[in-house]
Structure 1
Amino acid sequence: MVIFTTSCLFYKAILSVKYFTLNKALLFSLLFSVFYSCNLSWSQSADDVRKISFDKNWQFFLGDSLSAVQSENWRILNLPHDWSIEGEFNKDNPAGLGGGYLPGGLGWYKKKFTVEDTSKMTFIQFDGVYMDSEVWVNGNYLGKRPNGYISFEYDLTPYLKIGRENELLVKVDNSKQPNSRWYSGSGIYRHVWLKKLDKLHVSNWGTFITTPNVSQDSAEVVIELRLENEYSRARDAVVNTSILHEGTVIRSSTTSIDINSNEKKILTQQLIIENPALWSVENPNLYVAKTDILLDGEIVDSYSTPFGIRTFKFDLDKGFILNEKQVKIKGVCLHHDLGPLGTAVNTRAIERQLQIMKEMGVNGIRTAHNPPAPELLDLCDQMGFIVMDESYDMWNNSKTEFDYASNWRKWHEKDLKDFILRDRNHPSIFIWSVGNEIQEQWEDEGVRTTKELKSIVSKLDTTRPVTVAMNPPVNMPEADITTQFDAAKVNKNPIAASGELDIIGYNYAHQTYEYHQKNFPKTAFIATETTSGLQTRGYYEFPSDTLKIWPVRWDIPFDGGNPDHTISAFDQVRVPWGSLHETSWKIIKENDFLSGMFIWTGFDYIGEPTPYTWPSRSSYFGIVDLAGFPKDVYYMYQSEWTQKDVLHILPHWNWNPDQTVDVWAYYNHADEVELFVNGKSQGTRKKEGDQLHVMWRIPFQPGILKAVSRKDGEVVLEKLIKTAGKPSTLKLTADREVINADGKDLSFVTVDIVDENGNFVPTANNQLEFSVEGEAKIVGVASGDPTNHESFKGNTHKALNGKCLVILQSNEVPGAIYLTVSGKGLENKNINITSK
């Protein structure tokens, strides 16, 4: 912790004056009033004094017995780590299609460390370990945690050898498979922290900040603190909490407390903030509550909690209201893998995903279907996303043979409590979801469980609604789309009918959305999962306006599609339970009382390659592919969800002579779009009614395809696509050419295959080779091809439809980085990146 030395000395000097008669709490109030009036800055990195990164220099061994731990074949690595992503794709791997045909197994991690300070307590905190982890220190068993997504900690203090070497051993068992419907990864795949605490300290996740009364003029901030005294005697302490905004202390509250030995005590402090800067998706303003505990004038513990000030409600008629303004939730569901990086958490990789979503106009994230990495929530706070934080994909009834259902009865209450305690201060979180497509939703048991889970949440947080993302209420064929569904049909779902949910959340069932007010007149609505459109980036089929439902039914094996497992990138293919992208958005857009939607999914993810099985190994659902390259429908949403000027035309312009080609245009801020081929007009199109794109059906002629959008006769945008020649060379583009030399930062380099004139070649699938020199290493390669079985961790990869991705990770030494990309018949290209 960085703190003004003079102020610390001032504390001690004043408190040491024996004849000083002021109460210590009053004294501290006066002192902090002085600080406030002087407008002094205060460090926001106070938590550094409590915990340090414990990620470096672990030893790892992949083996299935304790005797293997005695082996000398340990590998040195840094955490977070996902060993499955390093494995080979194999259709016989027991994880199956849900796990992307990658291996699981049983792994061991160990780390040696020393502790010198006998006055502190020492804890080890894991942000997430997949799965069935067990931990020992110096041979002493600390415990087991089956849930692969939950955060947890252990007290090491009683077992440590002070001043001597200690050994931590972690067993991670992901050998019982299948245990997930999507790629889970394996290992200590989130960060680990070593915490050193005074015996009098704020508990883990020990603050709860609420803002019960908010206006433009002022906000009441209520801070609930859970304190623990592990001393062998009672202690008198002073607790001071300062509120910081943009690094400056603006308010403080000081309280004197007496706390008995081994007592846990809850302390509440209240402050008023004048003219608060409200948190919103456009302006995600954040505050920090910094709590200091002082004993005899010494700060012995500091705990910082970021928070936001906002008001919100889900209105029966106007949907979602944020800070008294109607906001349509334009959300996506995200699984936790980071594409070619697997599930190993990297803050920059998560940030990139969210930046790509933000550019599309997304303002909401659903953490499908499990507690996310803390870094995701921190970034959502900072970037302005409305989060549906979700805890479970199943309850007591399993979906795969070895999933969490086998641990449900013993662990679900503990896991849910820890989930809420960890996440409840995030201003981005607006909804708790305690289940997804739960099997018990059709039974009375589901109602009982819903009531229990809601009760657990409500004891810890009453500021947010609780929902369950439910399956469609009834089977509804296409012929019934225009039928008004009555409550008797819809309420065949006992959970929905029970009245236990604060907000009704449905996955799909878009046919019922517009009748929600009739069926549930007292409960607001959120579309927890919509769409499930299917596309392969850069692949197109004609005619483009023909609907394809793949598979025909969810319970019938799919034997159709294309031999190469491609799917048209026009918005024309969907699953039977879902809808096309345009279909769902039109319904949500046109009805104020529908608060919003979470599309399945923002990004492709490893596993669940619906409608195909092997050799496909990753999904087709994403609006963005596994490498982070947008599919065409991305621009439909961008034209609807942002204020950017948008004109996007598809497909590419490399076809057979005289082939009939459908050309689509997504656009906004214009009355019309005119299309030209080699300078000759193909006509002007305007969106009519609720249309979200326009189309031309024309014969292909090599040359230049040009679209021009106009408003009141004035040109808004022009877009050109040229017929490309043979692949000749490469174009390399880094998302950032300067990165941090911290051993973690990433540069994502896009490789485009171009012809001799620099035109992008949309049909090129060349094999590419990558090499790097200097202060970085290659940590991931990908093309977005769901059927590619090459390792994401290799130095070669086949491009998909003209594109490939290389991910570079910095070393801890600053310097130059040189990436070279080559391919047979292609001119080699280099890019220089700097690590600082």
Structure 2
Amino acid sequence: MNKSTKRNIRLLMLLSLTGLIFSCQPKQLADRQNFDKDWKFMLGDDSLAFQAGYEDGSWRKLNVPHDWSIEGEFSADAPSTTEGGALPTGIGWYRKSFRLEKPTSNKNFYIDFDGVFCNSEVWINGHFLGKRPYGYISFRYDLTPYLNYGESENILAVRVDNSAQPASRWYTGSGIYRHVWLVEKNPVHVAHWGTFVTTPEVSETLAKVHLDIQLENTDTQEQEVLVKSSVLDSQGTVLAKAESTLTATNGISSLTQNFELNNPALWSPENPNLYQVKSEVFKEGKLVDEYNTPLGLRWFEFTPDKGFFLNGKPYKLHGVNQHHDLGALGAAVNTRAMERQLEILKEMGVNGIRMAHNPPAPELLHLCDKMGFLVINESFDEWKKTKAKKGYHLYWDEWHKRDLEDMILRDRNHPSIFVWSIGNEIPEQFDTTGIRITRELADIVKSLDTTRPITAALTETDPEKNNLYKSGALDLLSFNYKHEEYLKFPDRYPGECMLASENMSALSSRGHYDFPSDSVRIWPPAYNAPFDGNPDLTASSFDNCIAYWGATHEDTWAVVKNNDFIPGMFIWSGFDYIGEPLPYPYPARSSYLGIIDLCGFPKDVYYMYQSEWTDKTVLHLFPHWNWTEGQTVDLWAYYNNADEVELFVNGVSQGRKSKEKDQFHVMWRVPFHAGSVRAVSYKNGEKVAEQEIHTAGQAAKIELIADRNNIKADGSDLSFITVKVTDKDGNMVPDAANLINFNVDGEGFVAGVDNGYQASTDPFKASYRKAFNGMCLVIVQSTEHAGNIKITASSDGLESNSLTLTSN
């Protein structure tokens, strides 16, 4: 048996186990209480603030998730540096008081933090519970021994230290930026992250389901329990049952249960079908714990020659990389904001997301399960060798094993996750220490989950020089950039499977265009090399500006599209993100690398991917039609479901054009004359689609477009309102930069503002914003009271506008 065959069989065996994975969503039962409300916060440090009797009456009152950095002002002198977003960091304290009724029987109380950035230390009633340096990891503490009951208050205190900078290569945010939960349990209960499901067999006709359950008994006495589990469909119909008896000794006890499902509805990005496993624990006939676990059924494989297969069918991965910030909202988790990002990506045709470069919020994974995205879950950007001066390498020796284990245990039951990544662009790939560390990390992952392949994002494509590859511990070889090297992969790595984990790094500013469009600008041409950029710190929205290590979208997609052995690619990046503002220095403070700007407004290349990755009929003509009279202008059109496109300038045809091989647009070069341009696409001579753009006149009005007019009165739901500056006829003015003021009346408030301009130093937390290239964004958040929310936008010299939202 040759190496190729061995490798392929080994990978098939590995992946055959992963047909069924379940998503353990936050359990909304009586024993799990959201603990986000009514915290007190102080920015600064006080060594006595952990004490129960500490006077915190002057502290600010707020709810978490909370990111104090996003509330600050941009500064070239910020300790986080421009690469980290040029926003303040520092030290902050949070305190929360709460009362508990004395339970009628023995109970355990735990506090769960989904994520605190970073270096958190936690106390309850003055008792130190522990610390967690890594800001992206979830963790739990046992409160039980230190609690007061009845009229006596309990004081939870959290110190957050994000003062050591730079801590990262991108914006991290600061504070308790993910959710907090108070968990109440009986002495015998399903342990924290205590279930795991695999499928020894799964197909379109049958799924065999294997459930591992860990029970925790905090009582010193043995407990006889009965565990009943049921598989339910989306309507709640019971499809299969299992039950087991167990003598639970003090500590952790394990049991397994098995089920069979006939003709299962398979999970995929196109049809993200979810089931649910309901596990109940009984003691002496009384229900003492319940654990509800959504699950999805699917199987997949990577092959060396034909790429990726999902549920037995060839499947191209159309992926993006995503950092965790939510634009003007910062790092503070908001489920609706994450859902909106995924909706925009879904419309583009995205079916995969690489979580760059850290474990995400649990809610994001739940959304990926429900909405249908294949996820690469990544643990670290940094091992022992330094990337950020004050980064994770400082904590590696003490914490990497615990952090990696906790990521796998927390996330291994999500059907969306199909690959574990143990690192991104790790310097140890050039060092023999990379062999040992890669093997160690892979062993940690496989001790907890053998159902998914393990990878690491590599920059070194030469197998003789890459020590992570030499370790033999990677099941899947992921490469960042260097798409021209992909064609050499089958010869360099015979029998191995690959993935394009990070691609492009193409630069653009929404609505800005540099001519000629067919001349590619490399900014900078090499590391720290000088270049002639734009005085206004913009980059062209044609696909003609790239970082020196990157490539254009069209060049890379052509290679991936035309080669079956390449399973797909993950674009850097889906959205712009705060920090890493290459190629410009401050006041640039957010990235130029997204297909979608920081507001969530698509840039032009979005429609190229939509024309390639979806069946939607696409015809996107750009740029705008406001130029200097007689100026030579390049007009591009992305299209699909058609054979050719015809361009008309002021009614005069400029001819029909069709895309050439490995070109994903057509172009005309014409002189500008005010009026209109119109594109018409045809298939078999019949018109398919049409788009017309008019020369805009003077700015006259404000247009408001809400993504949702009805939101929940839950104190966190959002409406994202697009603001456009138009002429009197409703044409957006493409260079409008008017200052727009916002006023909100009723049961809502402004949560953030932005315009997508990467070099704006105006604050995100404000009631005003300048338009950038004709547009800006206001985000309105509900209160906890139902009612109407009226938003009014006004600007000197423009006709104001209002809209009313309903909060239910």
Please list the CA deviations of residues 493-549 of structure 1 after superposition, one character each: whole Å capped at 9, or x if unmatched: 121233321000011021111121111112101011000000000000110000111
Q: Paired residue for 2:350, among 351, 354, 362?
A: 362
Task: Determine the C-alpha separation between the residues in 1 that align with 2:390 and 2:465.
Answer: 29
Task: Determine the C-alpha separation between the residues in 1 that align with 2:210 and 2:743.
Answer: 54
1:431 matches 2:419 = yes
What percentage of residue pairs aligned between the two structures are identical? 55
State the 1:250 CA deviation: 1.5
Task: Determine the C-alpha separation between the residues in 2 that align with 1:391 and 1:531.
Answer: 22
CA contact under 8 A between 1:741 and 1:835: conserved in structure 2?
yes
Q: Paired residue for 1:503, among 470, 476, 492?
A: 476
CA contact under 8 A between 2:113 and 2:179: conserved in structure 1?
yes
State the 1:352 CA deviation: 0.2
Equivalent residue number for residue 259 of structure 1: 248
1:52 matches 2:24 = no
Q: Which amino acid aligns with 1:355?
A: E
1:149 matches 2:136 = yes
State the 1:557 CA deviation: 4.4
CA contact under 8 A between 2:523 and 2:531: conserved in structure 1?
no
Task: Determine the C-alpha separation between the residues in 2 that align with 1:271 and 1:654.
Answer: 65
1:323 matches 2:311 = yes
Task: Determine the C-alpha separation between the residues in 1 that align with 2:671 and 2:391.
Answer: 53
Q: Which amino acid aligns with 1:120?
A: K
CA contact under 8 A between 1:780 and 1:793: conserved in structure 2?
yes
1:218 matches 2:206 = yes
Task: Determine the C-alpha separation between the residues in 1 that align with 2:188 and 2:532.
Answer: 65
SS of the equivalent of 2:176 reads coil
Q: Which amino acid aligns with 2:43?
A: L
Q: Which amino acid aligns with 2:239?
A: I
State the 1:490 CA deviation: 4.2
CA contact under 8 A between 1:47 and 1:304: conserved in structure 2?
no
SS of the equivalent of 1:308 reads strand
1:105 matches 2:78 = no
State the 1:386 CA deviation: 0.6
Q: Which amino acid aligns with 2:65?
A: P
Q: Which amino acid aligns with 1:56?
A: K
State the 1:559 CA deviation: 4.5
1:248 matches 2:237 = yes
Q: 1:296-307 alignment to 2 at 5 Å? A: 296-307=284-295
Q: Paired residue for 1:116, among 71, 85, 101?
A: 101
CA contact under 8 A between 1:558 and 1:611: conserved in structure 2?
no
Task: Determine the C-alpha separation between the residues in 2 that align with 1:248 and 1:140.
Answer: 46
Q: Which amino acid aligns with 2:191?
A: S
Task: Determine the C-alpha separation between the residues in 1 that align with 2:460 and 2:329.
Answer: 34
SS of the equivalent of 1:826 reads coil
SS of the equivalent of 2:366 reads helix
1:174 matches 2:155 = no
1:513 matches 2:486 = yes
CA contact under 8 A between 1:245 and 1:288: conserved in structure 2?
yes
Task: Determine the C-alpha separation between the residues in 2 that align with 1:197 and 1:71.
Answer: 30
Q: 1:223-238 alignment to 2 at 5 Å? A: 223-238=211-226
SS of the equivalent of 2:469 reads helix
The 1:742–1:619 alpha-carbon spacing in structure 2 relative to 1, beyond 3 Å, is: same
Equivalent residue number for residue 137 of structure 1: 124
State the 1:597 CA deviation: 0.7
State the 1:177 CA deviation: 0.7
State the 1:73 CA deviation: 2.6
1:87 matches 2:68 = no
Equivalent residue number for residue 565 of structure 1: 537
The 1:557–1:188 alpha-carbon spacing in structure 2 relative to 1, beyond 3 Å, is: farther
SS of the equivalent of 1:691 reads coil
Task: Determine the C-alpha separation between the residues in 1 that align with 2:208 and 2:381.
Answer: 36
State the 1:472 CA deviation: 3.6
CA contact under 8 A between 2:429 and 2:460: conserved in structure 1?
no
Equivalent residue number for residue 680 of structure 1: 652
State the 1:70 CA deviation: 4.4
State the 1:576 CA deviation: 1.1
1:66 matches 2:66 = no
CA contact under 8 A between 2:554 and 2:662: conserved in structure 1?
no
CA contact under 8 A between 2:95 and 2:158: conserved in structure 1?
yes
CA contact under 8 A between 1:646 and 1:668: conserved in structure 2?
yes
Q: Paired residue for 2:398, among 401, 410, 413?
A: 410
The 1:240–1:45 alpha-carbon spacing in structure 2 relative to 1, beyond 3 Å, is: farther
Equivalent residue number for residue 504 of structure 2: 531
CA contact under 8 A between 1:558 and 1:612: conserved in structure 2?
no
Q: Which amino acid aligns with 1:659?
A: Q
1:204 matches 2:192 = yes
Q: Which amino acid aligns with 2:70?
A: I
SS of the equivalent of 2:407 reads helix
The 1:428–1:45 alpha-carbon spacing in structure 2 relative to 1, beyond 3 Å, is: closer
Q: 1:793-832 alignment to 2 at 5 Å? A: 793-832=765-804
Of the two structures, which has the highest relative contact order with CA contacts closer than 8 Å and spacing of 6 or more? 2
Task: Determine the C-alpha separation between the residues in 1 that align with 2:149 and 2:228.
Answer: 32
* Runs of 4+ displaced beyond 4 Å: 44-47, 67-71
Task: Determine the C-alpha separation between the residues in 1 that align with 2:464 and 2:780.
Answer: 52
The 1:790–1:298 alpha-carbon spacing in structure 2 relative to 1, beyond 3 Å, is: same
Task: Determine the C-alpha separation between the residues in 2 that align with 1:365 and 1:701.
Answer: 43
Q: Which amino acid aligns with 2:173?
A: G
Q: Which amino acid aligns with 1:387?
A: V
Report the aligned-residue RMSD: 1.2
CA contact under 8 A between 1:129 and 1:189: conserved in structure 2?
yes
Task: Determine the C-alpha separation between the residues in 1 that align with 2:65 and 2:478.
Answer: 33
CA contact under 8 A between 1:671 and 1:712: conserved in structure 2?
yes
CA contact under 8 A between 1:50 and 1:302: conserved in structure 2?
no
1:773 matches 2:745 = yes
Q: 1:629-778 alignment to 2 at 5 Å? A: 629-778=601-750
Please list the CA deviations of residues 690-746 of structure 1 after superposition, one character each: whole Å capped at 9, or x if unmatched: 211000000001111000000000000000000000000011000000001111110
Task: Determine the C-alpha separation between the residues in 2 that align with 1:522 and 1:239.
Answer: 45
Equivalent residue number for residue 467 of structure 2: 494
Q: Which amino acid aligns with 2:535?
A: P
Task: Determine the C-alpha separation between the residues in 1 that align with 2:425 and 2:662.
Answer: 31
State the 1:470 CA deviation: 1.1
Task: Determine the C-alpha separation between the residues in 2 that align with 1:579 and 1:50.
Answer: 51
SS of the equivalent of 1:756 reads coil
State the TM-score, normalized to the length of structure 2: 0.95
Q: Which amino acid aligns with 1:152?
A: F
State the 1:64 CA deviation: 2.4
Q: Paired residue for 2:600, among 605, 613, 628?
A: 628
1:545 matches 2:498 = no
SS of the equivalent of 1:82 reads coil
CA contact under 8 A between 1:527 and 1:597: conserved in structure 2?
yes
Unaligned runs of 5+ in 2: 1-24
State the 1:760 CA deviation: 1.1
Q: 1:359-398 alignment to 2 at 5 Å? A: 359-398=347-386
Please list the CA deviations of residues 428-481 of structure 1 after superposition, one character each: whole Å capped at 9, or x if unmatched: 0000000001011111101110000000000100000000001143xxxxxxxx
Unaligned runs of 5+ in 1: 1-43, 474-488
CA contact under 8 A between 1:321 and 1:327: conserved in structure 2?
yes
Report the number of matched residues: 777
Task: Determine the C-alpha separation between the residues in 2 that align with 1:121 and 1:144.
Answer: 21
CA contact under 8 A between 1:46 and 1:302: conserved in structure 2?
no
SS of the equivalent of 1:831 reads strand
Task: Determine the C-alpha separation between the residues in 1 that align with 2:205 and 2:536.
Answer: 61
Q: Which amino acid aligns with 1:652?
A: H
SS of the equivalent of 1:511 reads helix
The 1:303–1:757 alpha-carbon spacing in structure 2 relative to 1, beyond 3 Å, is: same
